[in-house]
A and B are shown apart, each in its own frame.
Chain A
């Protein structure tokens, strides 16, 4: 029942928001809705037992599909990430002007409902429905409230992802033709022949790869992040990118294990090219939004690489990093949004010396920056350490190139330190110029949300045990389902 509430509260709250005419009212209502979702999520994931986190109802009986949702460890974590992100987004953009704010906020809440649905859906057709339901509001948000070139870039993003999801639909239907049910357990037991798996894999993988995005399907991402309103960018990068990773872990590896093993090295190569390529491009960026966008490609590339290492450490690292990256990148965007609102520019070359005028903001920024370059005591350290450990220790039967991969992925982390710190130096340190001279420090509500973000970063960095423990079951399950070693040993 809790799981259903998590979808229903933002859905209904979002629909109601469309009808609240006065802007402060709409803003307060949407914030309250998102906080209510957060409270329900907290209660659900800490106090209730697993039966409360499941819900099943008949739906579309003719199609053999049912409305079946459940929260496993990974789903619960992503729901937490989503429900904590939306209040933060609403508060951080509280003073950002939007024409027709009620539509904006309503669409945001609808997107939240879609995202939580994606994370909880345990039925392939339902998963597909939510997958699209999350996309449509975000498309409208980005093309209505974005920057100048928004229409063209978000349209590219839409066509790209729509194309991917249609291919996934074919894949879902193909497996359905074998099993006769859309239920996830039926999918896990589908037992497609290796030959079928080999090409069905790409139908799913393309959808996920475009969403994450993985090189070479990333070309929509920097433009869309740059042109979207920052609230839209926050949703896209902090949460929507995780849809792809979740898809890999829940809908690809256990369903098509043989193909995932067989294509593993190919995908890993793509991921590594993406990490290095995106890092190098990030060096050259002057726009802060584009820089964070490229760094996001690098981070997601590492997650994709670790998924195909297929061992415990890597899986745990990926799941932890999904949460960590969500929080860190959210913090980054909040800082970028504040700077853009204060100084009217995102160009690093036009900024400088903000530290003198806004010391509190600077402290927050550097903590978040350290987190995104995975310094110890921050959350990303735990995640990236586990992932690299997993990649390095990959079973030689799965991949022979674990060492090379770990080294080149490690390069990505070093690069990220260079470009993130360069951004910090250019924007915050040095002498003030005419533009930043008049800068002031951040207001109380901004301090509060950045404080929450930094606290989350440090707490989960110092004490990751609790979160990691909650991934235990689902990690074992995915490992068990995607295990191809017996098959390989049989052949020899």
Chain B
């Protein structure tokens, strides 16, 4: 509750900060301070200190898992702002608005992770989506950005329609929006509830860019300004997964037999499409878009297996994925040439960026001693311990091996090839944040218990 109310307030504050401050630095500083306050407020709520005692239990329930997830989202946003604030202010004139929109998205995320009613889920998803349409099109003079925004908006509103239709059908069969009160065992095999559930599954899959609903992803990620791609591909995506797990683990768990086959097929399709297509990309930015699809395939394991290991694993996966992707996008944003050749010789021109990028890519590829390995490890473990299809696990592992191909191509370009310098020098703050990201990735990979113990205490 703290984070929800405060992020909405800070959003408004950021909007007005554009009027009061004409320079960039104070706006950035305000945003960073606001994010730190938000993180503190969320941590306080985890310790039981609530600022607002409103009874919203019919709509929202802030349990430990949701709060922890909010903490991850806010923390990742803080890291994102530290490393990308400079680039954000370069996108357009009204940079204060972008910070405001990001705070509104955070408000949407807190709703999505803690909904108890399908209506609030809808609200949360929409509060996330609408600012994203604006951010995607924020580079007003770029045709690509406008196209991406329009495409995202059209496809997004269509999937919103599907989501609403699903909610309506579920309401029709259950007579309630509250997920705790639903009982799907009353009328087993009722077409109404199965159709509603599938429509919800498809629209959530769309938001999480899961195949075969991923077609918008590469174009939108490629067209949007790189900083906002980074935000969309990380924090927003994992928040949608948190909602996904909450919806299917809570309300629809009884329908498990129906949807688990669908989700299993989606995992295989997502991993296949994401990885195979990423191999053939010539632009690193598009490659990262496809890689984010393939990573979504791994995160979908949390929905598929739906046990405690998977829930825990999603936290680690989300953190690892956010950190690594924010890191590699921050490196990418410093380059003018987004092809693989643009990375040639980066280790000589900017050793810190190259090193940080390497750690992030190793983590994305799932090399041990990085957080990314642990995320994948948890997902595979949850599927094997849950006794699910081992063939699917082996398929996922083969796809992970393929993913090392395109991640390592970037490392090869940075370290083993020579080329002219295409990069903009990174500022001191950015460098330190990137090193901080690397340290976090390795620490999380070596001592995950320190991180997870927060969940249990």
Contacts and interface: CB of A to CB of B under 8 A. Distances in A.
Interface in A122-168: 128-129, 132-133, 136, 140, 143-144, 150-151, 155, 158-159, 162-163, 166-167
Interface in B360-386: 362, 367-369, 377, 380-381, 384-385
B405 A128 contact: no
A155 B412 CA distance: 9
Contacts of B369: 129, 132-133
Given A167-B397, A170-B397, A177-B385, A132 B368 contact: yes
B381 A176 contact: yes
B368 A170 contact: no
Contacts of B367: 132, 136
Contacts of A5: none
B412 A143 contact: yes
11 contacts: A133-B368, A136-B362, A144-B415, A158-B404, A158-B408, A159-B401, A163-B398, A166-B400, A169-B397, A173-B377, A177-B385
Interface string B401-418: 100110010001001110
A155 B408 contact: yes
Nearest to A125: B377
Contacts of B362: 136
Interface residues on B, range: 20 to 34
A166 B417 contact: no
A355 B405 CA distance: 46
Contacts of B390: 170, 174
B429 interface: no
A180 to B, nearest CB: 9
Q: What 4 A-B pairs come out closest when comparing CB atoms?
A: A163-B401, A166-B397, A132-B368, A173-B384
A209 B447 CA distance: 31
A487 interface: no
Given A129-B369, A177-B384, A166 B401 contact: yes
A62 interface: yes
A47 interface: no
Interface string B423-456: 0000000000000000000000001110010000
A434 interface: no
Contacts, number: 74
A298 B368 CA distance: 32
Interface of B: 312, 362, 367-369, 377, 380-381, 384-385, 387, 390, 393-394, 397-398, 400-401, 404-405, 408, 412, 415-417, 447-449, 452
Given A136-B367, A151-B412, A62 B380 contact: no
Given A166-B400, A170-B397, 13 more contacts: A60-B447, A63-B377, A63-B448, A128-B368, A133-B368, A133-B369, A144-B415, A151-B412, A158-B404, A170-B384, A173-B381, A177-B384, A177-B387
Interface residues on A, range: 20 to 34
Given A136-B367, A159-B401, A170-B384, A60 B449 contact: yes
A129 B448 CA distance: 14
A128 B366 CA distance: 13
A176 B393 CA distance: 15
A170 B452 CA distance: 23
Given A143-B416, A162-B401, A163-B401, A170 B380 contact: yes
B76 to A, nearest CB: 22
A22 interface: no
A61 interface: yes
Nearest to B394: A170
A167 B397 CA distance: 7
Nearest to B455: A62
A173 B380 contact: yes
Nearest to B404: A162
B452 A167 contact: no
Contact of B448 (A60, A144, A176): A60
Interface string A346-385: 0000000000000000000000000000000000000000
A301 B433 CA distance: 50
Contacts of A144: 415-416
B384 A159 contact: no
